[in-house]
Amino acid sequence: MCRWLVFLSEEDFLLADVVIEPANSLSKQSFDGGFHPGLCETNNMVLNADGFGLGWYGRSGAAIFRSVTPAWNNRNLRELCRSVESSCVFAHVRAATPGSVISEANCHPFRCGPLLFQHNGHIEQYARIKRRVLAELRDDVFGWLEGTTDSEACFALVLNFLEPALLRDDHDRAAPARVPVAAMRAAMLGAIALLRKFLAEEQARADARRALDSRGMKLRPRSRSRFMSAGDRRLLEHELRADRRPHGRRHALLRPGEHGAVTSSLSVEKI
């Protein structure tokens, strides 16, 4: 699982004082995360080597720096953090889901206009609703997408609930753009509700498909079937032997050492 931090202050601070220098800084955790009680082995990563990202707000608004190299040995990260001051910083070190793409576009945080977004973990069963999520996006938001992660797609869903004028990437203005808190809150809650709706509907469709499959077939007990066994005795080992019959060659499922087919069984027939 990835690790991230957000630090907000009333006064500007040097990014290195939060991201690099502390004994338990995020850059140090990226190669020596230690143990976190309550997390399973799968989610308790001790190495976050699949890239990192840094986001901050300056005079001209939001900015990001991302790389696919590990955070602990990136010289540019150290140089940047020891030179840049801000009152708000986002930092993220990635442990990618096995099989996912390692690329700069997939590193967090993501930026769209004045907004920064980063995420930890994954969206459960996202592959089943990915098409619906992307189809929901308006053209300007869909065109903004660069990576392949569920995190970025979910951020895009949040952006979809905001007016395009709030997402303008205009660094030439004297005052950076700001998204009203109420609008941001409504967009976040709207995106979460839509994800839950998609997942619930997909689960309902999956349940319906299973129900149809089960109604289309029924189990009927029959003796001397050669394919399935049912009875009081548990069969630990079987042999598959050829049994020649006048009407052709069939396979019989036998107990070791026996010369007859298993007789207590179930066969499947269509209703």
* H helix or E strand, kind and range, residue 219: strand 217-223
Distances (CA, A) of 245 to 107, 242, 256: 64, 10, 21
Catalytic residues: 2
For residue 194, how many other CB atoms are within 10 A of its CB?
Answer: 19
User: What string of DSSP letters covers 49-65?
Assistant: -S-EEEEEEETTEEEEE
User: Rounded CA gap, 85 and 13, in Å?
Assistant: 5
List helix spans (H) across the chain: 16-19, 26-29, 75-81, 126-136, 139-144, 150-160, 181-216
Contact of 122 with 164, CB cutoff 8 Å: no
* H helix or E strand, kind and range, residue 267: strand 264-270
The 3-state DSSP composition of the chain as helix, strand, coil percent (nearest 5) reads 35, 25, 40
CA-wise closest residue to 89 among 99, 80, 79, 101: 80
